[in-house]
Chain A
Amino acid sequence: MQQTITSSSNGLQPSKAANSLTNALSKAVFLGAALLSAALVVASPAQAQSLKGGVELSGSTRVGRPNGVAPSGTPVKFSGAIAKDGTGQFSGIMSGQTPKLGKIKLTRDASGTYSTPAITNFIDFGSVAFGGDTGKLTFDLDSSTFERVLPTDSLKLVSNGFTGVFKFNGNTVGSGTGSFSATRVAGTSFDYDLNVGAPVPEPLTILGTMAAAGLLGVGKRELDKSGAEKSDDVV
């Protein structure tokens, strides 16, 4: 008489063939994942670059229907020289470039809020060198809302904070936030101030992490020295 007992957690005895198949599958996936991991490390994300910093653009713009109390639409058209001031990576990117701004068509909804639909290539930064490559950098504006602040003699257009994405050669390289404000100078002529950049990051924690690693070592020694009784959780 032959009796083979298999150790299985639930007491069931899966067939030999099923075990072998699952075992082979697991090993194949493990090896596949390891190989794919190595391949990804070697070959992948040169495109995983991201922008840091921001840029402030200012100049003159023309805003339609400035005398209306609450016009149904307000076009904002940019023309003329643009002053620029970049921080972070933008300080390098922006040197020698003249950005171009797209037209914003603000429309008023029933509640009186002005908004613009998403604008592709809202800011065209031109051809720039970034991440060891040269290409076109643009900013796509998400749909945003604006406020139109009266009185008409000092009319102001102020964005409620907008978002968008930076694209380098059509590939997204980072999300962006920004603000826009334009103040009437005379007639349809306005002075504007446009800020756009990467969101303010959290403060760095790398020194904290190193301190934590050191303290874990100190704590482990302390725990061993004290001869504390180890629970199930002890590693």
Chain B
Amino acid sequence: MERSVLRPVWPTKFFHLYLIGTVTGLAIVYLTLVDRIGNESLFGNGCLFWGGCLYLLWQKRRSFSFGSDPVSSIIGSLIVTLVLVKTVSLPTEATLLAFPFTSVLGITLLASGWRRLGQFKHTLLILFFLGLPQLLIGAFLDISPVTAKVSAFMLWYTGFDVVLKGVFVYLPGGSIEVYRGCSGLGNMLYMLGISVMFSVFLPIDRYKRLLAICVAVILGFFINAIRVALLAVLVANSTEAAFDYWHLGGGSLIFSMLTVLIFGCFYILLIKWQTQTKRMDKGRVEEGSVDRDLIEPQRIEL
């Protein structure tokens, strides 16, 4: 009688290298295409999100179980082929927004099949928020009137003689029209992606995580509303060069950085809060056990 042997279905020794190598290739294709269409914001986000995705894959490389089924392999192959074929011709921004999630979904289907897709949930989650919300929500929702209203309210509250008509904010000396591009929706979706990155890499309690995501989105909207109000003041009281600087020039960069910095500080406070709460709970438990020892009556044998 021979001994029973446990043998894995897949020889997986170097399989993770195929996976990480292919995802790296896709990341390079994506960043090259984004660079060529000259979208600096998407390029920066792409570096961060693809970098995070590759880091996750590398960290978990030993724990992946590979082995796809024919149906998943065929679907995965079709998705990868479709995505790569779409990038051969002129890629539209919509294609580039869908590229990260769909391409890696195809690759993971090939690698592990849909049954084990859960092991890539964080990777896919990060790449989903790189572009798809912008594609799914950004194209259909226009919050310009709300942004104009909030900006006009801020101006009114700070003492400006402001008039609001739809998406137009009038001040004595000039007016602005809040376009879709300046409505802040992009900023909100950007902050949504950043908050998801934070919640994946810096895990905290579920409710605190939800709170952080909500705060990030609201911050994105309000900081942009402040920017719009500032632009209205500049139009009314300053030169066109100053307006251009704060609208599309170097000044506009400060607002996104400010939003992320405020959110980052808030998130670190949440981490500290969680740590402190856990320490206090631990302390209470320890005190409780000491008290029980003290209160417990001792049996004295006479």
Chain A residues proximal to chain B, CB less than 8 Å: 1-10, 14, 18-19, 22-23, 25-27, 29-31, 33-34, 36-38, 40-41, 44-50, 52, 171-172, 199-213, 215-216, 218-220, 222-223, 226-231, 233-235
- A48 and B268: CB pair below 8 A? no
In chain B, residues 1-53, which have Cβ atoms closer than 8 Å to a Cβ of chain A? Answer: 1-2, 4-11, 18-19, 21-22, 25-26, 28-29, 32-33, 36-38, 40-41, 43-45, 47-48, 51
Interface residues in chain B, defined as those with a beta carbon under 8 Å from any beta carbon in chain A: 1-2, 4-11, 18-19, 21-22, 25-26, 28-29, 32-33, 36-38, 40-41, 43-45, 47-48, 51, 55-56, 59-60, 65, 67-70, 73, 76-77, 80, 84, 87-88, 90-91, 107, 110-111, 115-116, 122, 179-182, 186-187, 190, 194, 197-198, 200-203, 227, 247-248, 252-257, 259-261, 264-265, 267-268, 271-272, 274-275, 278
Kindly list 17 other residue pairs between chains A and B, CB separation below 8 angstroms, not including A216-B198, A235-B200: A6-B7, A6-B8, A19-B67, A22-B73, A26-B68, A26-B110, A36-B84, A37-B26, A37-B84, A38-B25, A48-B90, A200-B179, A204-B253, A205-B187, A206-B253, A208-B194, A212-B264
Q: Is the Cβ of B19 less than 8 Å from the Cβ of A171?
A: no
User: Contact check: which of A47, A49, A202, A226 meets B271 at CB < 8 Å?
Assistant: A226
Closest to A174 in B: B37
Residues of B within 8 Å of A36, CB to CB, are 84
Partner of A19, one of B10, B19, B60, B253: B10
**What residues on B are CB-neighbors of A223 within 8 Å?**
202, 271
Please judge, given known A-B contacts A40-B29, A216-B197, A219-B267, whether A203 and B203 are in contact too, CB under 8 Å. Answer: no
Cα A234 to Cα B56 in complex, Å, equals 10
- Cross-chain pairs A/B with CB under 8 angstroms, 9 sampled: A26-B68, A45-B87, A202-B181, A204-B256, A205-B44, A206-B256, A207-B256, A208-B260, A219-B268
Bound: A9/B119 CA distance, A: 13
Top 4 nearest A-B pairs (CB, nearest first) are A208-B256, A215-B264, A37-B25, A203-B252
| Nearest CB of A to B245, in Å | 12
- Which residues of B sit under 8 angstroms from A47, Cβ to Cβ? 90
Contact A215 B90 (CB under 8 A): no
Q: Which B residues touch A204, using CB under 8 A? A: 40-41, 248, 252-253, 256
B104–chain A nearest beta-carbon distance, Å: 11
Bound together, the chains give a CA A22 to CA B76 distance in angstroms of: 12
Contacts of B47 in A (CB 8 A): 209
A41 partner, pick from B8, B32, B227, beta carbons under 8 A: B32
- Asked if residues A45 and B203 are in contact (CB atoms below 8 Å), the reply is no
Which residues of chain B are within 8 angstroms of A234 by Cβ–Cβ distance?
203
Given contacts A29-B80, A37-B84, contact A219 B198 (CB under 8 A): yes
Contact yes or no, B84 A40, CB < 8 A: yes
Q: Shortest distance in angstroms between B41's beta carbon and chain A's nearest beta carbon? A: 4
Contact status B44-A202, CB under 8 Å: no
Chain B positions within 8 Å of A210 at CB level: 44, 257
Cβ–Cβ contact B190 & A208, under 8 A? yes
Beta-carbon contact of A45 and B10 below 8 Å: no
Determine chain B's interface SS by DSSP, over half rule: helix
Q: Which residues of B contact A29 (CB under 8 A)?
A: 73, 76-77, 80, 110
Most chain B C-beta atoms within 10 Å of own C-beta, residue among A14, A22, A34, A202 = A202
A222 B2 Cβ-Cβ under 8 A = no
User: Cβ of B22: which chain A residues have Cβ within 8 Å of it?
Assistant: 30, 33-34, 37
Q: Tell me if A26 and B271 are in contact (CB < 8 A).
A: no
By the criterion CB–CB under 8 Å, are A48 and B264 in contact? no
Q: Which residues of A contact B56 (CB under 8 A)?
A: 235
Q: How far is the CB of A54 from chain B (nearest CB, A)?
A: 12
Tell which of B4, B59, B76, B77 touches A3, judged by Cβ atoms closer than 8 Å: B4
Nearest B residue (CB) for A206: B44
Compute how far the CA of A202 lies from the CA of B247 in the bound complex, rounded to whole angstroms: 9
Does A202 lie within 8 Å of B41, measured CB to CB? yes
Contact B260 A211 (CB under 8 A): yes
Contacts of B69 in A (CB 8 A): 22
CA–CA, A212 and B198, complex, Å: 9
User: What is the minimal beta-carbon distance from A38 to any residue of chain B, in angstroms?
Assistant: 6
B73 touches A25 (CB 8 A): yes
| A198 vs B177: C-alpha distance when bound (angstroms) | 17
Inter-chain contact A7/B9, CB cutoff 8 Å: yes
B48, B70, B181, B265: the one contacting A209 at CB < 8 Å is B48
Docked-complex contact A218 and B25, CB < 8 angstroms: no
CB distance from A228 to the nearest CB of B (A): 5
Is the pair A48, B36 in contact by a Cβ cutoff of 8 Å?
Answer: yes
- State whether B115 touches A9 (Cβ < 8 A): yes
Residues of chain A lying within 8 A (CB to CB) of residue B197: 212, 216
